[in-house]
Structure 1
Amino acid sequence: MAIITILPLPSPHSNASFSLLNRRFSSPFLSPAVNLRRITPLPCGFRVAAVPDAGAAVLHDAGAAVAVMTGAYALVATFDTLTQRNIIQQKFSRKLVHILSGFLFMASWPIFSTSTEARYFASIVPLVNLSRLVVNGLSYAKDEGLIKSVTREGKPEELLKGPLCYVLILIICAVVFWRESPVGVISLAMMCGGDGIADIMGRRFGNLKIPYNQQKSWAGSISMFVFGFLMSIGMLYYFSARGYFQLDWIWTIERVAFISLLATAVESLPTTGIVDDNLSVPLVSMIAAYLSFQ
């Protein structure tokens, strides 16, 4: 049974360090000092903190992890079936999996408990996918559905490049930042939404190329900026509406627009053969978001 405790709010004039939603930033790795003036205070003078029973929290989080993993497999299987039946093209299917997998994973975080260990249960899902990528990428096994769904040319070794970076970023954002920080939310939105849609729009409308990189187009870069921005704001609102953090929205919109512009510039650089976009875009977004919200 959960124990309900009533905790007093700190005075707005006190020297207490900032914590999202008036609680200390709970990442076991980072404790950024965030500007109090950018946070909308809670309207009441107290908050209710639920302290879950340890055993119940473990069962809850284990069940949530199984549910999310089942959904992830169903998503990939659905697009694999659509590709095999020639309903959608393989490249389009791969990008839709790229976009939806990260967003659905991030959107599932609220179903996990409030325990400290919840983030680790959530990270089991991409961790299992990481093991599948390594096993198939090294040709210890051969999952044709997986290879067709997430690779460009259908080669197993491709699994150890972009797709592996993708799931590593999912794990980092879940474990390090989790639900209490805008940093992980923005990083995943830029990687999944911005970069994913940029590729789709670039292939379809990308006749006008960027002068310094003929592999990228203005249509793709503009889409990267617009959709990276919109999806970041949308996911920030999603978590804010559920009480994980409250933001000064005008200030936040300005910062997210800057991060989107920076991520777009990085995505447009001719470094695809050296550094994968699934690594460069979210890492740059992560650093910029961390500094912006510090």
Structure 2
Amino acid sequence: MIFLTKSPLTGDLCALTFSICVALSLLRCFEETARRGVFDQKLNRKLVHITFGLQFMLCWPLFSSGSQGAFMAAVVPGVNIVKVLLIGYGIVKDEATVKSMSRFGDYRELIRGPLYYVCTITLCCTVYWRTSPIAIAAICNLCAGDGSIAMAVAGFIASVGYMYYFSMFGFVEKKSEMVVGFFVVSLMSALVESLPISTKLDDNLTVPLANVLLGTLVFL
């Protein structure tokens, strides 16, 4: 919310407070749906998986440009890294969070897929920030994509959508070459997700790594 104040630090603190409140409210909502059994557990987990990262990127324009804004924004998923570690190692008991983020209801699952997920978003935020198509591709394919053709299409559409969104603020420039790049990265992400190694390790780890590596070749 840098546009509301002359101080970048104050603006970033306001943006951070707002972003954390939105993120916690979203997670709390899905914790409640998981606790009440509103959705099937796997569907509930998938809804968290899709919405958290995409919602977080919507808040990026609220922060200032440069490293300060990037690091302040990264606190939002960073808080969830701590939360996932505490619950995943059994230090904190939180059944609602476990149900909303795990496939089978085992708290130890959180130190695999969910941990890789929030670490990816945190690193993309701090390293690439909002001016890089690599960050857009990595987070969009991680969140919106999941499974063969559907993954490629969803990840591609989300990537292009965020390209237009960030271009409204002057963070990136709309280019046909970037659209083609998003298509290539999304297609390859779907391929990587279908490989046995993604099942053995975790697609929340292999897909973002493939996005970053391929994105570096395509966009730089």
TM-score range, shorter chain: over 0.9
User: Could you tell me how far 1:274 is from its partner in structure 2?
Assistant: 2.7
Q: CA deviation at 1:190?
A: 0.5
Distance 2:216 2:168 in 1: 21
Deviation larger for 228-237 or 81-90: 81-90
Say whether the 8 Å CA contact 1:267–1:280 is kept in structure 2: yes
Partner Cα separation in structure 2 for residue 271 and residue 83 of structure 1: 29
Flag structure 2 segments of 5+ consecutive residues without an equivalent: none
Aligned residue among 195, 209, 218 for 1:283: 209
Deviation at 1:238, TM superposition (A): 0.8
Count of aligned pairs between the two proteins: 218
Query: Which has the higher Rg, Structure 1 or Structure 2?
Result: 1
Give the counterpart letter for 2:195 in structure 1: L
Aligned sequence identity (%): 36
1:225 aligns with 2:152: yes
Quote the residue 1:257 is aligned against.
Answer: 183
Alignment of 1:1-294 (within 5 A): 56-195=7-146, 198=147, 221-249=148-176, 251-294=177-220
Q: Indicate conservation of the 8 Å contact 1:186/1:236, yes or no.
A: no
Residue 113 of structure 1 aligns with an amino acid whose one-letter code is S
Give the 4+ runs in structure 1 shifted more than 4 A: none
**Contact 2:35–2:96 under 8 Å retained in 1:** no
Counterpart code for 1:78: C
Q: Deviations over 1:217-260 (max 9, x none)?
A: xxxx11011111111111111111221121322x2222221111
Structure that is richer in strand per residue:
1
More helix by share: 2
TM-score (norm 1): 0.71
Instruction: Please provide the CA RMSD for this pair.
Output: 1.7
Aligned counterparts of 1:142 and 1:286: Cα–Cα separation in 2: 34
Whole-Å Cα distance in 2 between the matches of residues 158 and 167 of structure 1? 14
Report if the CA contact (8 A) 1:191-1:278 is conserved. yes
TM-score, normalised to structure 2, is: 0.93
Partner SS for 2:67? coil
AA in 1 matched with 2:126: V
Measured against aligned partners, the alpha-carbon deviations of 1:177-228 in whole angstroms (never above 9, x if no partner) come to 0011111011100000012xx3xxxxxxxxxxxxxxxxxxxxxx11011111
